[in-house]
A and B are shown apart, each in its own frame.
Chain A
């Protein structure tokens, strides 16, 4: 479903003498099959968001090849957008000044979703994510937890085969987080939606992800199951310690 083949992305930063090239992602390769639930970990600045932006066609890779849902994201961005759902936890796709339902209505037209399908899916998502109480509330008045549920709904209205989530639980309280996790787990298990999730919350990983990929300094540092991940640091007890170990022990290639 997602194929990443020796992908690199560099940025030129600064000007004049301080001008230099930063390799946000280097030689990154992985494949995600349909129906997988993959956690994508990495310290801040490791290249997670850059990867997500390349997978969704927002950024073009400087080298390598990407295929998502059978399409080259950069070239077929619009077609791809209709096949995948994206949630940027720190941003919102909803219209700040409009009631939630109006945002959904716009998204229906944006993604050209059939009206009956839309109604059915929205009713289902409204039920599962408990949106009923604030459908008519302008988005700017929603709490973060409500907004995030709205954003997840917005990403799923066109029934994408792949859902890419960039920190969907950031800033959520324990209850909202649990609700979000439960929902994502069921989406994957019951609908078979392929999910790629970046997060700093290891609880998300433990609860949801059968497979974990870890990126460090722009390179893939680990790719395996949660148990494999634990096995990399047998001395450590908690998943936090294991990941800390990996983050700090990975050879820095500078």
Chain B
């Protein structure tokens, strides 16, 4: 078949349905394989799968992120090793725990989007594309959550596994022997991603009211970095500050899942706190979405 210029295809249609001989329209059903490609897959699971695929279009960016996370992980590991060698047993961690904490927190950066962002929502609000999203017969929040879970799953593979493996090879990290710990960790990790989404969704939604979300984004960045345990384990925070930091939502993103992994925390309590924050932030997000719908200016013509 001779190649046609793309626009040539748009010649005014014939008086009736096309009579020009043409290759049959591609009605071949798409390739289906694997568990997740069941046709009965619910809408939001499907959106999550597409979120995963959408992000896989940016593999180079994810790999560059993984490289950066690994290099910074190595730097931080040396700092923490020096600290724990000077003060053994600090905060209930030994050196191996501290190094593991360091590489886990590096591994969380991608899936939990600890530097903020990950959602296109703010950009879409500012540019007016949100009109399209709001016109769909779906929940804006659930939609974004599903997409974000797909994104997190992709980044878990590309940005979390490499730094952890490199850390294990260079410094040796703790690997729990008990499969139950892995199970709890998986739940805790998932809850961490949901809490992270809940928070980032609220931050992104703020652009409905204040148009430019750069201020809220940088505030969010500081809060997430500091109070998640990303900069320093929250166990090192003294007195009331430590107690406060441990109970804030950001702790659910790094400190709690890392402690669950290291077996340093009462599991039911840890998961309950994460669940509580996930529910609270999602509820707040749902309220904010409703408020946004009612009073927003949808930007652009």
Contact = CB atoms under 8 A, between A and B. Distances in A.
B171 to A, nearest CB: 37
A98 B53 CA distance: 8
Interface in B233-251: none
Given A109-B46, A145-B6, A132 B23 contact: yes
Contacts of A88: 131-132
Given A91-B132, A95-B50, A145 B298 contact: no
B86 interface: no
B7 A106 contact: no
Interface in A40-79: 44-45, 48-49, 53, 56-60, 77-79
Interface string B1-30: 000101111111100011000110111001
A123 B301 CA distance: 32
Contact of A53 (B9, B57, B131): B131
Contact of B294 (A60, A91, A138): A60
B43 A98 contact: no
A138 B6 contact: no
Nearest to B39: A115
| Chief secondary structure at chain B's binding surface | loop
Interface residues of B, number: 43
Contacts, number: 122
Interface residues of A, number: 60
Contacts of A45: 301
| Chief secondary structure at chain A's binding surface | helix
Interface stretch (B76-84, B134-142, B261-269): B134-142
A127 interface: yes
Contacts of B6: 133-134, 143, 145-146
Nearest to B53: A98
Given A56-B135, A78-B137, A98-B53, A90 B10 contact: no
A3 interface: no
A90 B30 contact: no
Contacts of B136: 81, 93, 110
A1 interface: no
Contacts of A97: 53-54, 57-58
Given A78-B137, A135-B26, A106 B50 contact: yes
A149 B26 CA distance: 17
Contact of A102 (B25, B43, B50, B131): B50
B129 interface: yes
Contact of A11 (B8, B39, B137, B297): B297
Given A128-B13, A179-B10, A101 B30 contact: yes
Interface in A95-146: 95-98, 101-102, 105-106, 109-111, 115, 119, 122-123, 126-128, 130, 132-136, 138, 143, 145-146
A252 interface: no
Contact of B7 (A53, A90, A143): A143
A-B CB proximity, top 4 nearest: A81-B137, A179-B10, A130-B9, A97-B57
Interface of A: 11, 44-45, 48-49, 53, 56-60, 77-79, 81-82, 86, 88, 90-93, 95-98, 101-102, 105-106, 109-111, 115, 119, 122-123, 126-128, 130, 132-136, 138, 143, 145-146, 149, 173, 175-176, 178-180, 182-183, 186
